[in-house]
Amino acid sequence: MAKIVKGQKFKGVVNYILDKYKGAELLDSNGVRLKSPETIIQSFVSKAEMNPRLKNPVCHISLDFSSQDCDKHNSELMVKVSREYMKQMEISDTQYIIGRSSQQGTSASRDQLICMVDSDIQIRWNPEYPSPK
């Protein structure tokens, strides 16, 4: 199941995805500085500021997997599924982080943050496609 939320602020979403208290780990990234959560946030903000027409640069996609299959979800598979999802959603040439959190007794969850600005400073994510093809 996928849940997609668009917004304006990167700080809250990055901190949510990388929350140590829910056992989060960073699995993959593109185009962001990984020194700290603050440098990740600043990477997204700097890129988004290059396109002042962009009102909601944050796209947080949460993919939740069944708790019955929790033992089958390794980090490599989660990255593969995340990248395939982005491909199907036509999300490319953009900054992103992929984080995974898993809490005992809950479903395995993969949280993903995407800045909707590509290297050509154009909006790539099409909101008319709310789920993979």
**Looking at the predicted structure, is the pLDDT value of residue 79 above 70?**
yes
Question: In the predicted model, what is the mean pLDDT of residues 76-99?
Answer: 87
pLDDT digits (tens, 9 = 90+) for 19-65: 888 888 899 999 999 999 999 999 999 998 888 888 888 888 888 77
Query: Can you tell me which residue has the tokens 């050509």?
Result: 120
As a whole number of angstroms, the distance between CA 54 and CA 123 comes to 8
Q: Is residue 130 part of a domain?
A: no
Q: Is residue 129 part of a domain?
A: no
Identify the helix (H) or strand (E) that includes residue 120: none
The predicted structure's pLDDT at residue 26: 92
Type of residue at 116: M
Q: Is residue 131 part of a domain?
A: no
Q: Is residue 60 part of a domain?
A: yes
Specify the higher pLDDT residue, 62 or 106. 62
Q: Is residue 133 part of a domain?
A: no
Which of 21-35, 63-77, 95-109, 112-126 has the largest mean confidence? 21-35
Question: Domain range spanning residue 56?
Answer: 2-118
Q: Over the chain, what is the mean pLDDT? A: 77
Q: Is residue 124 part of a domain?
A: no
The predicted structure's pLDDT at residue 109: 57
The predicted structure's pLDDT at residue 45: 93
Strand partners, 4: 61
Q: Is residue 123 part of a domain?
A: no
The predicted structure's pLDDT at residue 38: 96
Q: Is residue 81 part of a domain?
A: yes
> How many folded domains does the chain comprise?
1
Nearest in space to 54 (alpha carbons), one of 128, 129, 125, 132:
125
CATH assignment of the domain containing 87: 3.30.930.30
As a whole number of angstroms, the distance between CA 108 and CA 67 comes to 6
Question: Cβ atoms within 10 A of the Cβ of 101, count?
Answer: 20
